[in-house]
């Protein structure tokens, strides 16, 4: 630790990190575009200039991201010299920036926009026209590049070199002709491309899937946890008008994902908002599955538990710890065999974040005492028992939708899934909320507990799994085995 | 208890007829004076460039919308009357509203949208009448909001003049 004086206040700074890190850690906002805590500082944007006095030497203006801290250093961020240096740099950055904030998806969370309001002047001095470049250059499936907006901070270049491990972007051309390009015009590849859209301090690299989808200030952001692998990256789920999930972005979590997340998780919401949701409850009647109220459906399930013996419960790995605990209690009350269906490895495992195990809460459910079993084992259990209860989102797909609908065992299926299963053996099915509509806790592969939060309300008629399990538990207590005649 | 003191009538007032004549003379004079009221539905309201009627979207002569759906009017609207969804188009300005809705029942005709618009696309027109049989039909979509620029030119010139005066 090194003592330095920042804007007249004595602070402790980490001597291995640049001066800007000390300033940001102490709540002093120093403008910066190229500096990112997760990447090597390069000092290319020159926006973090501050005035530094060391010992007897006269004060000088330096880039805070490339200056190491030294004992007794005096730093001033708001002196006229530092402000003028920043303002002049900003004007050069804006020289070729198109100022098309009205159509830019970054507007509202753009650092260039923010600092221009805070520090810049309203009119430029340059009389030359802005350079005209490609505004819609596709860099593969995920990313779209607007070369006019780019301020050449090189964050994206460093991300691929340092985090993803393979250089994919570079600054090509010299001087005023510099542009961001891929090598030989190839598309970007890999499972981490989406991160460069978050990293980009301006609107140059944007997500194709988010293009013109929403203005960012209209999005409601909820802190949650990614459910696509057992890493459990901290994310923020962003919802437009209480309904549509528009994007998912990583949230800084030092112990899990730091600033990043993989594209599998980033675009998973497209599955979460999938149409064809099972809304409300259905009960097997004389003419097939008929709509009924949730309480009727639960009563039928409880009666089924009382009338039959030999029950099997299959849990989805998306259940939260709280739901898992309730399910264990219910299984004990009914006397059922309880297993979590464990899908095969997704094949997406890498050295950065993705673990390849698609169960976000395997560890949490194991901790509350739910053993896992492979899909064929679960299917065998289901067909062998008199009643099989499938609980949680995607559980039908994981056990095998086709196999469940075709099986010729005698078991009755009670399904609590997000999507309907149209099979002759289904006795009761109730629609449940998906992971963007429920709250609870997941435990990742390393034992890190993280919350999931309901980012939007479930469709009408869809209940939370925990409420259903609690109601079912109460019903089972009232109709004990033998109290209902066969 | 309140005691109201009545005014003592003068002799002229007690004679009754002079007062009747005075009153009738006012009536007769007003019959020939300029009328202060208007037969509203038959005689429409006189509107000028200053009239702040319902907001309308300007359409260029080449049939393109000026609006790029930046959401500034949506953000400025104090009544939350505006809802916009954008989509991509193949023009140089890549963005255009896919849906643009103004809930006219919510709109309070304050003109903040006109002031917030960076693209001179939304203007307070001189259209004021708002009557229909259902609430849903009073949520105006693009088809009922778009007007050729020429129709809004009076207002545009007036606002430009005001801005010029303000800036100098």
User: From the CA of B71, how many Å to the nearest CA of chain A?
Assistant: 7
Q: Confidence band (pLDDT; 50, 70, 90) for A275?
A: low
Contact criterion met (CB below 8 Å) for B71 and B84 = yes
Q: What is the pTM of this model?
A: 0.85
CATH of domain B55-164: 3.30.70.3270
pLDDT grade for B82, boundaries at 50, 70 and 90: very high
Q: Which of A215, A244, A246 to mutate to test the interface with B (most CBs of B within 10 A)?
A: A215
| pLDDT at residue A51 greater than cutoff 80 | yes
Identify which of A146, A102, A99 has the alpha carbon closest to the alpha carbon of residue A126.
A99
| A436 within 8 A of A455, measured Cβ to Cβ | yes
Please give the DSSP secondary-structure letter assigned to residue A12.
Answer: E
Kindly report, residue by residue over A390-401, the tens digit of the pLDDT.
998 888 888 888
Do residues A20 and A35 touch, judged by C-beta distance below 8 A?
Answer: yes
Mutate which of A98, A100, A101, A103 to test chain B, going by most B C-beta atoms within 10 A? A103
Contact B70 A217 (CB under 8 A): no
Q: Which of B68, B70, B80, B167 to mutate to test the interface with A (most CBs of A within 10 A)?
A: B70
Q: Return the residue of B nearest to A98 by Cα.
A: B93
State the average pLDDT over residues A295-314: 88
Interchain CB distance below 8 Å, B72 and A101 = no
Average pLDDT taken over every residue of chain A: 88
**Closest-CA residue in chain B for A100?**
B93
Q: What is the pLDDT of residues A424-471, one digit of tens each?
A: 888 899 989 888 888 999 999 899 999 999 888 888 878 888 888 888
In this prediction, residue A196 carries a pLDDT of 94
DSSP letter for each residue of A54-84: -TTSPPEEEEGGG-B--TT-EEESSSHHHHH
Residue of B70, B75, B83 lying closest to A102 (CB–CB) = B70
pLDDT, greater one: A163 or A477: A163
Q: How many CA atoms lie within 13 A of A367 on its CB side?
A: 18
Least confident of A478-482, B136-140, B161-165: A478-482
Between chains, do A212 and B118 touch, taking CB under 8 Å as contact?
no
Among chain B residues, CA nearest to A101: B70
A299-322: average pLDDT = 89
C-beta atoms of B75 and A217 within 8 A: yes
- Residue A147: list chain B partners with CB under 8 A: none
- Residues A352-377 have a mean pLDDT of 89
A215 chain-B contacts, CB cut-off 8 A? 70-71, 74-75
- Band of the pLDDT at A32, cuts 50, 70, 90? very high
Structure tokens at A463: 């209940």
Distance CA A380, CA A411 (A): 11
Interchain proximity B71–A218, CB inside 8 Å: yes
Task: With a cut of 80, say whether residue A315 has pLDDT above it.
Answer: yes
At residue A273 the predicted structure's pLDDT band, cuts being 50, 70 and 90, is: low
Mean of pLDDT values over A84-88: 91
From the list A40, A352, A48, A344, the residue with the least C-alpha distance to A194 is A352
**Using the beta-carbon criterion (under 8 Å), do B86 and A101 form an inter-chain contact?**
no
The answer to whether the Cβ–Cβ distance between B87 and A218 falls below 8 Å is: no
Alpha carbons B6 and A311: distance in angstroms, whole number: 97
Query: Strand A143-145 vs strand A169-172: parallel, antiparallel, or unpaired?
Result: unpaired
Name the residue of chain B whose CA is nearest to A132's CA: B92
What is the ipTM score, two decimals?
0.80
So where are chain B's domains? 55-164
- Residue A271: its pLDDT value, please? 63
pLDDT band at A485 (very low <50, low <70, confident <90, very high): very low
C-alpha to C-alpha distance for A454 and A457, rounded to whole angstroms: 7
pLDDT grade, residue A486 (50/70/90)? very low
Report the pLDDT averaged over residues A229-243.
89
Say if the Cβ atoms of A212 and B74 lie within 8 Å: no
Spatial contact of A49 and A77, defined as CB atoms under 8 Å apart: no
Could you give the angle at which helices A294-307 and A465-478 cross, rounded to 10 degrees?
50
Q: Which residues of B touch A101 (CB under 8 A)?
A: 70
- For A185-194, what is the mean pLDDT? 91
What pLDDT is stored for residue A131 in this prediction? 86
Domains in chain A with CATH codes: 2-92 (3.10.20.740), 129-212 (3.30.70.20), 281-483 (3.40.50.740)
Share of chain A above pLDDT 70, in %: 97
Mean pLDDT of B34-58: 90
Q: Average the pLDDT over B92-116 and give the result.
A: 93
On chain B, the residues whose CB falls within 8 A of the CB of A211 are 88
Q: Do A103 and B87 touch (CB under 8 A)?
A: no
| Nearest Cα residue to B97 out of B126, B75, B71 | B71
Q: Mean per-residue pLDDT for A259-270?
A: 87
Residue A480: predicted pLDDT: 60
User: Residue A158: pLDDT band by 50, 70, 90 thresholds?
Assistant: very high
Whether residues A212 and B68 touch (CB distance < 8 A) is answered with no
Residues on chain A touching B119 (C-beta within 8 angstroms) = 102
A150 contacts: CB under 8 Å, gap ≥ 6? A179, A180, A202, A204
Report the distance separating Cα A89 and Cα A95, nearest Å: 10
Give the closest-approach CA distance of B143 to chain A in angstroms: 21
Amino acid A287: pLDDT: 83
* CB-based contact B68 A102, cutoff 8 Å: yes
* pLDDT score of B89 more than 80: yes
Residues of B engaging A, defined by a Cβ cutoff of 8 Å: 68-72, 74-75, 83, 86-88, 93-95, 118-119
Residues of chain A in contact with residue B71, where contact means CB-CB under 8 angstroms, are 215, 217-218
Q: If you average pLDDT over residues A221-244, what whole number do you get?
A: 89
Instruction: Report the distance separating Cα A36 and Cα A17, nearest Å.
Output: 12
The residue of chain B nearest to residue A208, with distances taken between CA atoms, is B88
For the segment A113-140, what is each residue's pLDDT rounded down to a tens digit? 999 888 777 777 888 888 888 889 999 8
Q: Do B71 and A213 touch (CB under 8 A)?
A: no
- In angstroms, what separates the C-alpha of B97 from chain A's closest C-alpha? 10
- Give CA angle at A72 (A69, A77), nearest 5°: 65
């Amino acid at each position: 630790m090194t003592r330095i004086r920042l804007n007249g206040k004595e602070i402790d700074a980490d001597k291995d990190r640049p001066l800007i890190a000390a300033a940001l850690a102490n709540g002093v906002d120093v403008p910066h575009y190229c500096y990112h805590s997760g990447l090597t500082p390069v000092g290319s944007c020159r926006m973090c200039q501050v005035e530094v006095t060391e010992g007897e030497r006269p004060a000088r203006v330096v880039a805070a991201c490339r200056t190491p801290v030294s004992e007794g250093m005096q730093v001033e961020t708001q002196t006229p010299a530092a402000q003028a240096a920043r303002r002049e740099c900003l004007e050069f950055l804006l020289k070729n920036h198109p100022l098309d904030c009205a159509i830019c998806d970054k507007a509202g969370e753009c650092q260039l926009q923010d600092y221009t309001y805070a520090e810049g002047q309203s009119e430029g001095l340059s009389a030359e026209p802005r350079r005209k470049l490609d505004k819609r250059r596709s860099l593969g499936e995920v990313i779209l590049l607007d070369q006019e907006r780019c301020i050449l901070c090189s964050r994206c270049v460093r991300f691929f070199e340092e985090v993803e491990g393979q250089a994919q972007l570079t600054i090509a051309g010299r001087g005023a002709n510099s542009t961001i390009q891929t090598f030989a015009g190839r598309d970007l590849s890999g499972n981490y491309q989406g991160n460069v859209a978050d990293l980009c301090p301006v609107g140059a690299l944007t997500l194709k899937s988010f293009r013109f989808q929403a203005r960012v200030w209209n999005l409601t952001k909820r802190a949650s946890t990614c459910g696509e692998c057992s890493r459990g990256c901290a994310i923020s789920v962003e919802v437009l008008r209480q309904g549509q999930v528009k994007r998912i972005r990583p949230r800084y979590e030092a112990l899990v994902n730091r600033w990043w997340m993989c594209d599998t998780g980033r675009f998973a919401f497209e599955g979460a908002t999938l149409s064809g949701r099972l809304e409300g409850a259905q009960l097997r009647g004389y003419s097939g599955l008929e709509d009924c109220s949730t309480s009727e459906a639960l009563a039928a399930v409880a009666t089924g538990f009382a009338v039959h013996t030999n029950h099997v419960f299959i849990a989805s790995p998306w259940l939260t710890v709280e739901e898992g605990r309730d399910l264990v209690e219910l299984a004990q009350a009914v006397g059922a065999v309880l297993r979590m269906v464990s899908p095969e490895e997704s094949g997406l495992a890498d050295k950065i974040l993705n673990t390849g195990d698609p169960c976000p809460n395997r560890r949490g459910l194991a901790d509350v005492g739910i053993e896992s079993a492979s899909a064929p084992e679960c299917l065998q259990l289901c067909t062998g028992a008199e009643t099989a209860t499938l609980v949680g989102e995607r559980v039908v797909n994981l056990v095998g939708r086709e196999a469940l609908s075709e099986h010729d065992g005698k078991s009755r299926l009670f399904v609590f899934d997000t999507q309907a299963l149209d099979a002759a053996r289904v006795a009761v099915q109730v629609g449940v909320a998906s992971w963007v509509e429920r709250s609870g806790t997941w435990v990742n592969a390393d034992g890190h507990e993280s919350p999931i939060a309901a980012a939007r309300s479930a469709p009408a008629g869809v209940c939370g799994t925990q409420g259903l399990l609690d109601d079912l538990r109460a019903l089972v207590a009232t109709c004990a085995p033998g109290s209902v005649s066969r | 208890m309140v005691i109201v003191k009545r005014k003592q009538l003068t002799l002229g007032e007690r004679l009754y007829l002079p007062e009747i004549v005075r009153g009738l003379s006012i009536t007769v004079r007003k019959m020939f004076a300029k009328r202060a009221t208007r037969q509203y539905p038959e005689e429409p309201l006189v509107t000028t460039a200053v009239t702040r009627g319902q907001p309308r979207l300007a359409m260029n002569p080449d049939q393109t919308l000026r609006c790029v759906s930046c959401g500034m009017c949506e953000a400025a609207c104090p009544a939350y009357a505006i809802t916009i969804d954008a989509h991509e188009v193949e023009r140089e300005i890549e963005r255009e509203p896919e849906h643009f809705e103004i809930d006219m029942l919510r709109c309070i005709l304050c003109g903040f949208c006109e002031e917030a618009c960076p693209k001179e696309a939304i203007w307070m027109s001189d259209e004021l009448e708002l009557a229909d049989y259902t609430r849903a039909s009073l949520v105006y979509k693009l088809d009922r909001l778009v007007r050729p620029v020429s129709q809004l030119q009076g207002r545009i010139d007036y606002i430009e003049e005001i801005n010029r005066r303000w800036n100098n």
